[in-house]
Amino acid sequence: MNIRTTLLLPLLLCCCLTAKAEEGSRLWLRQATGAEAQVTAPRGGATLQTATHELREAWKGQPITLRLKKDKFLGSEGFRITPLADRLELTAATERGLLYGAYHLLRLQESNGGHAFTPQQEITEVPAYDLRILNHWDNIDGTVERGYAGSSLWDWESLPEQGSDRYEAYARANASIGINGTVLNNVNASPRILSRSYIEKVKALADVFRPYGLRVYLSVNFASPMALDSLPTADPADKAVARWWKNKVKEIYRLIPDFGGFLVKANSEGQPGPCDYGRTHAEGANMLADALAPHGGIVMWRAFVYSPGDADRAKQAYIEFKPLDGKFRKNVIVQVKNGPVDFQPREPYSPLFGAMQQTPLMAELQITQEYLGHANHVAYLAPMWKEFFQYVPPTSLRAIAGVSNIGNSPNWCGHPLAQSNWYAFGRLAWNPALSAEAIADEWLVQTFRSLERQETSGVDEQAAYKAMKQILMESREAVVNYMMPLGLHHLFAWGHHYGPEPWCDIPGARPDWMPSYYHKADKEGIGFDRSSRGSNAVAQYPDSLARLLDDAYSCPEQFLLWFHHLPWNHPMQSGNSLWEELCRHYSLGVREVRKFQQLWDRARPYIDEERFLLVQSLLKIQVRDAVWWKDACLLYFQELSGLPFPDEMERPIHTLPQLKQVKLGISNYECPDAELLDSQR
Ligand code: GCW
């Protein structure tokens, strides 16, 4: 029996005994039905009918009239809610605007404890971005790359003949938070997704999603013409290749007239691309853009490129893409990960943002917790994304994408609290000015409010919500503390990116996939020197920021070891040495997760047993892992620093040789050696 089963067994037994169990499948959409509100609406299409239906089912407030009215200010998705003497009026220029308005009203009602609610003032909402897109890294064999919530939601085998209730539930959940696009398949794309039979499957999904304003996009493999139709080349300058793409695009639009376009990972991690033929990323993107333009489609071209050459990995995307600024067609958007390396628990922002003034850019955020404890650890990511927006003004972006954490597990995201990240992504994509706190409040009350109890039970219940919110708000920083504080990054074990392996050294493997490439710890000190004396990655940032980052005494300490290699006794702002400060952060991370356990227990009387117990069990795993991280990193670094642990620090409970034996399977759901880890406690 592995660790997850051992810890979850009492939970499974207990849930059989409780009546009001909830498995989380209803997400934040748990409002009661049968409200019988008076809802008046013009005749319209499926989207308008959906808006009307949602309000009729659940709206408890005063009568409401839906109106379609041309309004330049509202654009194609905004809406206005106007309180009149005897009713509310919801107006929008399109049916989609009305749908978003309907969900907004229901969200306000739920935030009001599910009670009838009358807005006192006019409310006007217009989304910050036209494209608010989920990226699924779902493979056509049903697996999900970096997915921790079961298999893919898309049952390609049974499509298009057979549907699933979950397809509609998925579209509805997205619409309720304003997400309006979905890339169905992995950026490491199988060419087969563009075969006729798969396009028919994609059409079936697009038909289900359409009433919810959710457009479908596909990731494409740049060598598809060779793989599918045996063309001798995929060179974008080759006329036959361009013609192949034009025809393929036509074939797609014949079946899916509102198809959104392509997402492309090219010349990255072994994927084919235009550089294979001596062409640039712009030439490759433009060839696809020309095929899509007549149909209104777009290309989202990823800037996630790096190779094991001499240049610091963190500099490479900038080096390759910056010279291409202004060279892309109008319907190309370059999609850039938030940080320059790869979705680490904390990274500075990617310097490409702000550097490509002539090119529309979109941010790629990662909702799935590839580097933040998978679906075992609680890590509410809105604070991380807000941190990104502090440096990259939302207005400088054209669109926003999030790598999905959704799978076919009953609660969609694996960890019950991970649903908050799907929710927060949608809300921030609609309005990046919302605070992480406000989003946490909204999500918690909608997701956990007791449906049995009509009235809130006052002070204690408020305290329980406050405790849950504290967990969410502090969770990401806790993960940073016990995994990679002070700017450390990529200390992950080979392959699965779950546990620590700062010592990892696989002979012959790519150096830029090894932790030592990033931490560069030795007897003298630790950290990657990206200052002007080192790789000079700081020079890719605007001058004033570059100067700040370049000096170890002015560089924000949260990025210190990202930009500097420093002696173990480097003095920190706290007065501690760097070594002491590292020890302090790792220990703090462990203590924070222990505190989450206590805080979570406070919520018990107010929420359902099933989700309560599941989170309680997962927190045990998280504490176990936090201790594992702390011990592994500190014991390893201590071998190099030769320094003693500070007096007050909690002592390791493992030894380094023991920890070096731990080898987890690729997925944390099957961790054959977790017992070894557990038995070492
Ligand atoms: O970080 C890496 C992930 C890969 C992923 C890649 C990417 C889809 O480990 O699994 O591939 O990033 O973003 O393309």
Give strand ranges (E) for 120-213: 123-125, 131-135, 181-183
304 CA distance to ligand 1 middle (Å)? 9
Which domains, from first to last, does the chain contain? 3-125 (3.30.379), 131-434 (3.20.20.80), 480-528+565-678 (3.90.1330.10)
What are φ and ψ of residue 162, in 5° steps? -110, 135
Number of residues that make up the chain: 681
The burial class, CB within 10 Å (0-12 / 13-18 / 19+), for 68 is middle
Residue 505, pLDDT score: 86
Q: Which of 342, 364, 477, 580 is labelled catalytic?
A: 342
CA pair distance 246, 281, nearest whole angstrom: 19
User: What contacts 292, CB < 8 A, 6 or more positions away?
Assistant: 249, 261, 262, 298, 299, 331
From the CB of residue 450, how many other CB atoms can be counted at a distance below 10 Å? 15
527 φψ region: left (φ > 0), alpha (ψ -120 to 50), beta (else): left
Query: Considering only CA atoms, which of 365, 470, 374, 363 is closest in space to residue 418?
Result: 374
Judge whether residue 11 has pLDDT over 80: no
Token pair, residue 619, equals: 């927190």
Measured from CB, residues less than 6 Å from any atom of ligand 1 are: 137, 145-146, 186-188, 265, 269, 304, 342
In three-state secondary structure terms, 464 is helix
Judge whether residue 482 has pLDDT over 80: yes
CA pair distance 566, 326, nearest whole angstrom: 39
Instruction: Respond yes or no: is residue 370 known to be catalytic.
Output: yes
44 CA distance to ligand 1 middle (Å)? 42
Query: For residues 184 and 228, is the Cβ–Cβ distance under 8 A?
Result: no
CA pair distance 463, 460, nearest whole angstrom: 5
Residue 18, pLDDT score: 39
| pLDDT single digits (tens) 264-283 | 999 999 999 999 999 999 99
Query: For residues 315 and 537, is the Cβ–Cβ distance under 8 A?
Result: yes
Residue 1, pLDDT score: 32
Residue 37, pLDDT score: 83
Token pair, residue 565, equals: 């290699």
634 CA distance to ligand 1 middle (Å)? 28
Q: Quick one: average pLDDT of 519-533?
A: 98
pTM: 0.95
Which residue, chain included where needed, has tokens 């001596």?
278
Query: Considering only CA atoms, which of 508, 535, 509 is closest in space to residue 520?
Result: 535
Q: Which atom belonging to ligand 1 lies closest to the Cα atom of 403?
A: 13
Query: For residues 91 and 80, is the Cβ–Cβ distance under 8 A?
Result: yes
Residue 445: which pLDDT band, with cuts at 50, 70 and 90?
very high
Residue 510, pLDDT score: 87
- Give, for ligand 1, the residue of 146, 336, 366, 371 to mutate: max count of ligand atoms closer than 8 Å to Cβ: 146
Judge whether residue 55 has pLDDT over 90: yes
| pLDDT single digits (tens) 40-53 | 999 999 999 999 99
Q: In the Cβ-directed half-sphere of 503, how many Cα atoms lie within 13 Å?
A: 19
Judge whether residue 658 has pLDDT over 60: yes
CA pair distance 414, 554, nearest whole angstrom: 40
Query: Considering only CA atoms, which of 197, 243, 189 is closest in space to residue 218?
Result: 189
370 CA distance to ligand 1 middle (Å)? 9
User: Which one of 3-12, 233-242, 454-463 scores highest in mean pLDDT?
Assistant: 233-242
- Give, for ligand 1, the residue of 337, 342, 494 to mutate: max count of ligand atoms closer than 8 Å to Cβ: 342
Instruction: Respond yes or no: is residue 342 known to be catalytic.
Output: yes
| pLDDT single digits (tens) 220-258 | 999 999 999 999 999 999 999 999 999 999 999 999 999
The DSSP annotation for 203-231 comes to HHHHHHHGGGT-EEEEEE-TTHHHHHH--
Residue 5: which pLDDT band, with cuts at 50, 70 and 90?
very low
Residue 663, pLDDT score: 82
Judge whether residue 440 has pLDDT over 50: yes
154 φψ region: left (φ > 0), alpha (ψ -120 to 50), beta (else): beta
